[in-house]
Amino acid sequence: MTTQININSKSQLAKLIATENLIVEHNNVKTASFDTVNRILTLPIFKVQSGDVYDMLIAHECSHALFTPAEGWKSIMDDDELRMYVNVLEDTRIDKLIQKKYPGVVINYMNGYEILDKQNFFGLKNKDVNNDLMLIDKINMRSKSLNRIKFNFSKEDKEWLKVVDDIKTFDDVVTVAKLMLDWQKKQVEQLKKLPNFDDLEIVKQYGLDDKKDQSNEETTNSNNENKNDSSSNGDNNKEEKLEDQKNVETGVVHKGQQGGGGKLTAITNMTYEANKNALYDSNKSYSYYNMPDPILKNIIISQKEFRNDFKKYIIKEFAKGHFKEQYRRYYNFLKTDFKQFKSDSKKTVMYLVKEFEMKKAATSYKRSTQDKTGILDPLKLKNYKFSDDIFKRLTILPDSKNHGMMMLLDWSGSMSDVIKQTVDQLCNLIWFCQKINIPFNVYFFTSEVDYYSQPNSKHDEKLKPAFKYKVGDIALDNFKLVEIANHNMKKSELDESLMYMYSMGLDYMQKYTRYSFDSHDNPNNYNFGCPSMYSLGSTPLNESLIVFSKLIPMFKQKYRVEKMTFITLTDGASNGNRGIFNTDKQGQLSLISMRSGTPVLRSGKKYISQKKLDYWNFWGSDITANFLDLIRKQNVTTLGFYILKKTRGYDAERFFRSDDKTAEFRKKQWTKDKCTTAVQPGYNEFYLINGKNMNIENADLSDVSSDMKSGKIKQIFSKSMKGRITSRLLLNKFISKVA
């Protein structure tokens, strides 16, 4: 009966028990609760390995959430005795209700009780259940054991059992609890008249001797003070765990938790509640959040707007007095340099297109089938006497799938020293998609268009929020997605847009790497710089992924894409979240801190969470992985290209862990190819790229001379072509995965 507990399957069990497709959350809580407005059932996290015990606990907690009114407890919270009696009778009531509604859980209750009883969870070990227990405990264990404990009930006890069995509502529970508590107090008063009262076992069990209990209470208080004094040593958690474990093994209730001082309690329930702490998994917790609705019209800047903004910026630069001529020269240099870059890349792109078509054809052939045509094959007729296979065969190749691709470029400040190389790689990727004639769309994000703005902001009216928030949504930053390329653009428009990206790459490369593009056409290294609205800024990666989770289904439907690929080109983690939205006392949206623990994304009625890897500990990376996984679940292949600035030290080594069997192979691949793979939640493939070796290499035949032998010329040409192919890392990896 020991099984591996699956939280997701237990969530499904809770949904079935609740008879609706509600939201089920497991978290570091002690009791179940139900949000009737948002239909969220919150359950404790148990660390038990028994499936029966887990199912019993889930059924019990679900029954509480469904049938126990939260408001009903308020009136009895200050009365310890009454609260204990109500607790036992309410457990009896709701367990009976859930077992009647779902007879299948009865076997879980039976097996679960057996397992816990063997561990003395109820403290019955070495007890005479008929003489050492009061009626409330007999009722409790009668219910927990499903009538399998043989109690000797008196005639008066049986009358009480009938009253308990007739309980229908929580109000009935409170009424019966008050009557039973008064009755039990009278029974205790009768016991006190006996001469051997102090020697009775039931008196010892319930701590009814006032003097002994005062002594116990003083001892307990002293122990608690000593325990508090040692809290600074950081060993409290260890002590509590050891104490919980001891409780499980012995079934002993803490001193001071027993009745005493004339107060009555239910010792079996008290023991169970104390021991139940050992069932809770206090080391696990979850932070649940929703995805806000993106307002696309406030986020996306079209490629037409991008080109117009850059044109206006260039015109403004041209008008700068005595610098006018220098900027004009730079513009001519830019057009010439970009044209040459495109020309140098053309042959390599065409070569890779051929590679892609060959790999796609090979994949198609591998999936091919053969079938008989029904037409006789004259060459096989001679075999008709001993073979039925005399028909012509036809090889059937499956139709190629319609490909589509969307790309996201990281336009953050940390990309400044590799942005030129990344733009060059991106241009090659775009031209490749253009040549194989597949739908594509390319964006970069920027945080520099709008300033920070919250919902209902009193800032400038021009600041339009990027998201529409509701309770439970994760709070994010304002940002823009800038479209720079798509397959519907005219050739001149695409060239213009990519040239502007190329120019911004040159600008940042000159600023941060001391690169010089001084030439006859561009003396003094002048350049346009970058429009302030498109400057490198922060990293709204999570914000962008939310938008793509909406854009990708629209893209697939519009262009009937069957095989969709989504690519990110980045060098780090996203901005951190600002918290979770809740409502304040006035009913307005307000921010609260995100709970510590594993982030879990609610997507409709489903949940998305990731196993966090030791080497991937950037701020918010697990939230990013959740959003990526949401995209991947839309039948999308997610490819990530992570650009490493430092090829040694922690930056690279953390991806090659000693416990990874493939670490040595990937290390060698990293050294040889300047690129390797890594495991990253949310991605189908995650590539590590050496940021220092991303320059696009073009053919260099300058060493070829007229008197050189053909073998030497071939060697130089082969080496040059190899460099051209290897330097286009993104393109090579892309065709290998997508084809």
Kindly state the tokens that stand for 457.
């902001």
Same domain (yes/no): 414, 275: no
| Domain C-terminal end among 228, 253, 279 | 279
Same domain (yes/no): 317, 252: no
Per-residue pLDDT tens for 634-652? 999 999 888 777 766 666 7
Model confidence band, residue 332 (pLDDT cutoffs 50, 70, 90): confident
d(CA 320, CA 364): 58
For residues 40 and 62, the answer to whether their CB atoms sit within 8 Å is no
Per-residue pLDDT tens for 51-78? 788 788 878 878 887 788 877 777 787 8
Alpha helix positions (H), 193-263: 201-206, 210-229, 236-250
**What are the respective helix, strand and coil percentages of the chain, to the nearest 5?**
50, 15, 35
Model confidence band, residue 37 (pLDDT cutoffs 50, 70, 90): low
Same domain (yes/no): 534, 566: yes
Kindly state the tokens that stand for 14.
């809770």
Same domain (yes/no): 618, 693: yes
Here the CATH number for the domain that contains residue 597 is 3.40.50.410
Virtual CA dihedral for 306, 311, 316, 319, nearest 10 degrees?
Answer: 170
Which has more confidence, 12 or 404?
404
Count other C-beta atoms under 10 Å from residue 649's C-beta: 8
Share of the chain above pLDDT 90, in %: 24
User: For residue 8, is it within any domain?
Assistant: no
Alpha helix positions (H), 593-707: 621-632, 650-653, 663-673
- Which pLDDT belongs to residue 12? 61
Same domain (yes/no): 475, 622: yes
Lowest mean pLDDT across 86-100, 421-435, 671-685: 671-685
User: For residue 627, is it within any domain?
Assistant: yes
d(CA 50, CA 174): 33
> What are 585-588's contacts with CB under 8 Å, separation 24+?
588/456
- Which pLDDT belongs to residue 541? 93
Residue of 721, 698, 605 whose CA lies nearest to 345: 698
Lowest mean pLDDT across 60-74, 161-175, 610-624: 610-624
User: For residue 394, is it within any domain?
Assistant: no
Same domain (yes/no): 207, 330: no
| Domain C-terminal end among 279, 313, 346 | 279
User: For residue 724, is it within any domain?
Assistant: no
User: For residue 645, is it within any domain?
Assistant: yes
Same domain (yes/no): 235, 322: no
Kindly state the tokens that stand for 181.
């508590």
Model confidence band, residue 394 (pLDDT cutoffs 50, 70, 90): low
User: For residue 35, is it within any domain?
Assistant: no
d(CA 9, CA 54): 11
Count other C-beta atoms under 10 Å from residue 399's C-beta: 7
Same domain (yes/no): 269, 303: no
**Full domain range(s) for residue 626:** 293-384+399-698+730-738
- Which pLDDT belongs to residue 548? 97
Same domain (yes/no): 150, 91: yes
User: For residue 495, is it within any domain?
Assistant: yes
Same domain (yes/no): 364, 238: no
Lowest mean pLDDT across 43-47, 226-230, 358-362, 368-372: 226-230
Q: What is the CA angle 296-301-302, rounded to 5?
A: 105
| Domain C-terminal end among 279, 304, 339 | 279
Same domain (yes/no): 205, 348: no
- Which pLDDT belongs to residue 357? 79
Same domain (yes/no): 245, 372: no
> What are 718-723's contacts with CB under 8 Å, separation 24+?
721/351, 723/697
User: For residue 13, is it within any domain?
Assistant: no
Place of tokens 């019955």: 124
* pTM higher than the cut 0.85: no
Q: Please give the tally of structural domains in the chain.
A: 2
